[in-house]
């Protein structure tokens, strides 16, 4: 049975959805009637399986696909979109949640430190927008693309309150870039009936944040 034959509202890809914000988005979209493709790294396979189990148990008619790919690698993102479209027959929504931080100060950060943040946060979003748009245009039915900026993408920060050893400049730069990427992509894809938006969440008390706070408190 394809998604067009079921009572599915559509098909959604949610990147970085094994935990945190992405997990919540995946569960919410499933609850709203979407079949979902959960994406995260291979290292988060166990968490991805738990999210799938939770969705299947709570929303019996929903279908869930796990695709373990690295969003900072272009071919992986292309494969993510192709695998989802092949499995479900279409793609209607893509939620791009890419965020990594650099845990060092600006004055001692290396080019690799800075590039590692931009590679995931900016390139990962760019690849997701690109291949989602290609698929949606080919379908000719429009679509919804959603990126993740941040309050740090609206106003620069000098440090993080709980984790002052992080390098906010790289994270802020990446989130400001996502706003520009989103706005320009929205203009470009509007003619195809594809909306492109970004949201700007504040601090989320995720497992990763708790771990960073613990490391700081014990002097790591």
Q: What span, in angstroms and rounded, lies between the C-alpha atoms of 146 and 31? A: 18
Catalytic residue chosen out of the listed positions 129, 154, 175, 210: 175
For the chain, how are helix, strand and coil distributed in percent, rounded to 5?
Answer: 50, 15, 35
Q: What span, in angstroms and rounded, lies between the C-alpha atoms of 45 and 39? A: 9
Catalytic residue chosen out of the listed positions 34, 129, 131, 171: 171
Q: What span, in angstroms and rounded, lies between the C-alpha atoms of 185 and 127? A: 12
Q: What span, in angstroms and rounded, lies between the C-alpha atoms of 101 and 118? A: 9
- Strands 10-14 and 93-96 come out as parallel
The residues, ordered by sequence, that sit 6+ positions from 183 with a Cβ below 8 Å of its Cβ are none
175 as an active site residue: the answer is: yes
Q: Is the torsion defined by CA of 176, 179, 98, 138 positive or negative?
A: negative
Positions marked catalytic: 171, 175
């Amino acid at each position: 049975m394809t998604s067009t034959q079921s009572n599915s509202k559509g098909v959604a890809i949610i990147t970085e959805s094994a935990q945190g914000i992405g997990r919540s988005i995946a569960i919410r979209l499933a609850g709203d009637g979407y079949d979902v493709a959960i994406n995260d790294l291979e290292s988060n396979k166990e968490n991805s399986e738990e999210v799938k189990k939770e969705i299947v148990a709570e929303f019996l008619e929903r279908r869930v696909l796990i695709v373990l790919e690295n969003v900072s690698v272009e071919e992986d993102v292309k494969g993510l979109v192709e695998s989802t479209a092949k499995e479900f027959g279409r793609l209607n929504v893509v939620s791009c949640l890419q965020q990594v931080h650099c845990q060092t100060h600006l004055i001692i950060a290396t080019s690799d430190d800075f590039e590692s943040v931009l590679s995931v946060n900016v390139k990962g979003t760019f690849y997701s927008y690109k291949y989602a748009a290609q698929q949606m245009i080919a379908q000719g039915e429009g679509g919804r693309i959603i990126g993740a900026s941040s309050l740090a993408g609206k106003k620069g920060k000098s440090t993080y309150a709980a984790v002052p050893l992080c390098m906010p400049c790289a994270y802020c730069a990446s989130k400001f870039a996502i706003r520009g990427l989103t706005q320009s992509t929205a203009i470009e894809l509007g003619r195809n009936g594809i909306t492109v938006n970004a949201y700007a969440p504040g601090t989320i008390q995720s497992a990763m944040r708790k771990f960073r706070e613990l490391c700081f408190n014990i002097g790591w």
